[in-house]
Amino acid sequence: MSEAREFKYIGQSTIRPDGFDKVTGRANYGADLSLPGMIWGKILRSPHAHAMIKRLDTSRAEAFPGVLAVATHSDFPSVTDQAIESGEGSLTLLDLARNVLAKDKVLYHGHAVVAIAAKTSAIAEQALALIDIEYEVLKPVMDVREAMAAGAPILHPDMFTQGLAEKPTTASNVATRLEYKMGDIEAGFKDAEVVVEREFYTPTAHQGYIEPHACTVRYEKDGQSMIWCSTQGHFDVRASTAKLLGLDLGKLKVIASEIGGGFGGKTTVYLEPVALILSRKSGRPVKMIMDRDEVFKATGPGSATRSWVKIGARKDGTITAMQGRLAYEAGAFKGSPVMMGCMTAFTPYAVSNMYIEGFDVVVNKAKVAAYRAPGAPQAEFAVEMLVNELAVKLGRDPIDLRLQNAAKEGTQTIYGPKFKRVGLVECLEAARDSKHYQQALAANQGRGVAAGFWFNVGGQSSVHINMNPDGTGTIVEGSPDIGGSRASMQMMAAEAMGIEPGRLKPIIGDTENVAFSAGTGGSRTTFATGMAVIEAAEDVVAQMKQRAASMWNVTAEQVEWVDGVALNTAGEDRLSLAEICAGADRTGGQISGRGNINARGAGPSFAVHLCDVEVDKETGKVDVVRYTAVQDAGKAIHPKYVEGQYQGGAVQGIGWALNEEYIYGADGLLENAGFLDYRIPVASDLPMIDAIIVEVPNKFHPYGVRGVGESGIIPPLAAVGYAVENAIGVPVTDLPLSPPRVFNLIQGKG
Amino acid sequence: MARVTFSSTQQQFTVDAECEVDASNYRELIDAITSRYPALDRAELLQMAVAIDGEIIHEPLLELVEQDSEIHFFHFIAGG
């Protein structure tokens, strides 16, 4: 769809179909399933950040009364070095196996070593203490600078840097070096009259989902297995677990429970394959639930990064060159989202000369996982901070400067293609014209502006719509609902069929009753699964017209479909959808529509945020006093949920900017593995986040959808960061801007 | 002729930054460029995403390529 169009249902904020279950506590989450004969699994985790496992003896634990199974890495069949999909920064199968249960070496504090299943959770806990294990403790490597330094302890002696012109002969903690370039970077800086450059640091930050990882599994003697778990992609859980355990996909059913947040962190497996081994060995269903400590220590956070960026411009504001060097922590195994950082860092700008190189670096921390627009917030933080500095040096309004250099239709991206129509200019204009931007700042206040870009993705989605004899129907989709997508699917199907949304019930199918669908992530579900829903709904309508035609003895082409009613253009006849469904048994059986697609044409989404902060200069405490999030949705199917996505992204980014960080001791042990010490923002910390929805339709989606889940977390780091810099008059380089750090900056000790 | 632009990483194997290829679909295009640049990993190319005239396609094997198409390769993008 290239231009705005009128809709009957799209654009309304309907009541969510899953709302009643959630507010009454009836919804079933990852830990809510119990089965007859079920036992409990627990994991022994490494007390060290880096150590060799010299000796492991589980015999005393196995003999402990009530223990029914013990699992170690040796229980995995031989796995090969093949890539598997697990969100951004994917793992190889070998690394995944070594991550879920360590082999020979532990690589981070909390790394899983042994799993035990027992009749009760308490017995399993007691038995963990009976495992005899001897470690040779090694020096941990906790930062990319240390990891890249000559003589650094090497995590993987068999890892050699990829992407170098010459094949290296010595092992390295740098898994990959990559670069993107466009134009002539040296000529670009020669053409510049003003140059800004700075180094930045962003910390390890967790997605902060409220529901811990949990699963209940059952392995049957005939090989038929079942996993119930909290996941963003149950087909990916099936694929990973089946490959790790050597199972046929057809014998493993995965059911996605309701999910209490994921944000990218539930795109891989931790417990599921381990629980299935324990179930296979014990012959009993097994439940495993992580506690919060385990979630922080052993699941994938977002990468900590160190970035250097340099920007040159002419005095008229034309940016002539952008250069960057990004080093991203991958955690214990290769696969950080540094490539995404490189691809997104400069993309909001139409600049002829760009060069960026990236390094994927292993350190002794939990393997990173995707976190909402993986890799982009860290890279764009560095760039947006400098664009604000550049505006000051040029004496320009920061939005005006961005408008002068904004990417638009036809702009060449550093990663290759030219943009189709995009909405960055419209977002910048909306931010400039907002009430927020007109408000004056008070004493000790500062303002930050930042833009953000995310690709959005398509991929495979499968849907079927089964109609009932009374004209109601069920939409069966394969994408777990994290952010209210069931309501959006219901509305898109209703729009296509011309019936009230409430007549269609959307549900999430398991891996056996709906065809393959990629996980919910990458802002793909409303776009891609939405396209599959529309296709399935149009299939239903086509069948409805055919059935009506057969009743009237005319051709389907002579039947029009208007607002859920078939009209005979060759006469006066009309049949409602309910009437056709009621008579379906006499016209060929019940009606079911299908949509199985591999969606292409995802529309990029830009966001622009405004942040005003007030700094208490005696304590360094920062309060966000005004915040506005502007973003291009393409088309907002359900505007309230779109606003919620903008607000959620903004709040997570504000937390990353102000307080959130993993704190490690010199021994590499995580010291703040809980929400008491790892401080995410709560409602009382923040003002209302104003959301402004910009709609520049994506011509490749029937209703113009782009996807809104990710761009909103990108701008806050720099919007907040620069607002603080503006308030205190001291350059900001490192996040989070916690009170001690801000206080030290004010005191000149930063 | 379709115009293929190679990524910086690919240029380690092609030296050329771009080339022109006579192909009517993606499979033919891969055949043509791996024939011209044998150092390129055909299996890896078939696993990569591609942008054809600005439209990002994750599994492009059967995609049609126009005579004036612009082709860019990049790795699969998933998201969070």
* Nearest residue, CB atoms, B79 vs list A265, A420, A523: A523
Question: pLDDT (tens digit, 9 = 90+) per residue, A490-533?
Answer: 999 999 999 999 999 999 999 999 999 999 998 999 999 999 99
Question: pLDDT (tens digit, 9 = 90+) per residue, A340-371?
Answer: 999 999 999 999 999 999 999 999 999 999 99
Taking CA–CA distances from B4, the nearest residue in chain A reads A416
Residue A352 is predicted with a pLDDT of 97
As given in the structure block, the two tokens for residue B46 are 């078939």
Residues from chain A that touch B79, judged by Cβ atoms under 8 A, are 87-88, 264, 370, 373-374, 454-457, 521-524, 709-710
Residue A637 is predicted with a pLDDT of 97
CB–CB of A522 and B12 under 8 A? no
Q: Which of residues 458-497 of A touch B (CB under 8 A)?
A: 458-459
The reply to whether B18 touches chain A by the CB within 8 Å rule is: no
Q: Which amino acid is at B75?
A: H
Residue carrying structure tokens 């990483």: B9
C-alpha pair distances (Å), A186 with each of A189, A353, A355, A368, A540: 5, 8, 10, 34, 59
Question: pLDDT (tens digit, 9 = 90+) per residue, A417-429?
Answer: 999 999 999 999 9
Q: In angstroms, rounded to a whole number, what is the distance separating the alpha carbons of residues A440 and A452?
A: 24
The reply to whether B57 touches chain A by the CB within 8 Å rule is: yes
The reply to whether B3 touches chain A by the CB within 8 Å rule is: no
Q: What is the mean pLDDT of residues A742-746?
A: 98
CA A236 to chain CA centroid, nearest Å: 14
C-alpha pair distances (Å), A266 with each of A4, A185, A261, A300, A579: 35, 39, 8, 9, 43
> Helix (H, G, I), strand (E, B), or coil: what is residue A281?
helix
Residue B57 is predicted with a pLDDT of 85
Res A220 pLDDT > 70: yes
Q: In this complex, how many residue pairs, one in chain A and one in chain B, have their CB atoms less than 8 Å apart?
A: 98
For A727, residues 6+ apart whose C-beta sits below 8 A from its C-beta are A444, A445, A446, A613, A614, A615
For A19, residues 6+ apart whose C-beta sits below 8 A from its C-beta are none
Residue A81 is predicted with a pLDDT of 72
Q: Which of A336, A415, A455, A520 to mutate to test the interface with B (most CBs of B within 10 A)?
A: A415
The reply to whether A582 touches chain B by the CB within 8 Å rule is: no
For A434, residues 6+ apart whose C-beta sits below 8 A from its C-beta are A610, A628, A630, A690, A692
Q: In angstroms, rounded to a whole number, what is the distance separating the alpha carbons of residues A524 and A600?
A: 10
Question: pLDDT (tens digit, 9 = 90+) per residue, A559-589?
Answer: 999 999 999 999 999 999 999 999 999 999 9
CATH number at residue B64: 3.10.20.30
CATH 3.20.20.70 fits A19-26+458-599, yes or no: no
As given in the structure block, the two tokens for residue A207 are 């997605």
Give chain B as a 3 state SS string: CEEEECCHHHHHHHCCCEEEECCCEHHHHHHHHHHHCCCCCHHHHHHCEEEECCEEECCCCCCECCCCCEEEEECCCCCC
**Longest CA span, chain B:** 37
Residues from chain B that touch A339, judged by Cβ atoms under 8 A, are 75
Question: pLDDT (tens digit, 9 = 90+) per residue, B10-58?
Answer: 888 898 989 999 999 999 999 999 999 999 988 888 888 888 888 888 8
**Mean pLDDT score across all residues of chain A:** 96
Residue B7 is predicted with a pLDDT of 85
E-only strand ranges, A163-244: 174-182, 194-202, 214-219, 225-229
Between the two ends of chain A, the Cα-to-Cα distance in Å is: 51
Question: pLDDT (tens digit, 9 = 90+) per residue, A428-473?
Answer: 999 999 999 999 999 999 999 999 999 999 999 999 999 999 999 9
Q: Which amino acid is at A621?
A: K
> In this structure, are residues A613 and A445 in contact, taking their beta carbons and an 8 Å threshold?
yes
CB–CB of A600 and B77 under 8 A? no
Beta strands B70-74 and B49-52 are antiparallel
Q: In angstroms, rounded to a whole number, what is the distance separating the alpha carbons of residues A655 and A679?
A: 8
Residues from chain B that touch A415, judged by Cβ atoms under 8 A, are 7, 72, 74
pTM for the structure as a whole:
0.96
* Nearest residue, CB atoms, B80 vs list A165, A267, A419: A267
As given in the structure block, the two tokens for residue A563 are 């607002």
CB–CB of A343 and B74 under 8 A? yes
Question: pLDDT (tens digit, 9 = 90+) per residue, A71-130?
Answer: 999 999 877 777 766 555 567 899 999 999 999 999 999 999 999 999 999 999 999 999
The CATH number assigned to the domain with range A305-456+603-746 reads: 3.30.365.10
* Sequence spans of domains, chain A: 19-26+458-599, 39-138+211-260+266-298, 305-456+603-746
B80 assigned to some structural domain:
no
Would you say the CATH fold of A305-456+603-746 matches that of A19-26+458-599? yes
Q: Which amino acid is at A23?
A: V
- Among the residue ranges A206-220, A381-395, A657-671, B21-35, the one predicted with the least confidence is B21-35
Question: pLDDT (tens digit, 9 = 90+) per residue, A288-347?
Answer: 999 999 999 999 999 999 999 999 999 999 999 999 999 999 999 999 999 999 999 999
Please give the tally of structural domains in chain B.
1
Q: What is the mean pLDDT of residues A714-727?
A: 98
Res A400 pLDDT > 80: yes
Residue B11's domain spans which residues?
A: 2-74
Residues from chain B that touch A265, judged by Cβ atoms under 8 A, are 80
Residues from chain B that touch A356, judged by Cβ atoms under 8 A, are none
> In this structure, are residues A380 and A305 in contact, taking their beta carbons and an 8 Å threshold?
no
The reply to whether B43 touches chain A by the CB within 8 Å rule is: no
CATH of A39-138+211-260+266-298, one of 3.40.718.10, 3.90.1170.50, 3.90.79.10, 3.40.920.10: 3.90.1170.50
DSSP structural state of residue A205: B
Question: pLDDT (tens digit, 9 = 90+) per residue, A602-633?
Answer: 999 999 999 999 999 999 999 999 999 999 99
Q: In angstroms, rounded to a whole number, what is the distance separating the alpha carbons of residues A385 and A364?
A: 29
Whether residue A697 has a cis bond before it, omega within 30° of 0: no
The reply to whether B78 touches chain A by the CB within 8 Å rule is: yes
Residue A4 is predicted with a pLDDT of 64
As given in the structure block, the two tokens for residue A194 are 């003003």
B79 assigned to some structural domain:
no
Burial of A676 (0-12, 13-18, 19+ CB in 10 A): exposed
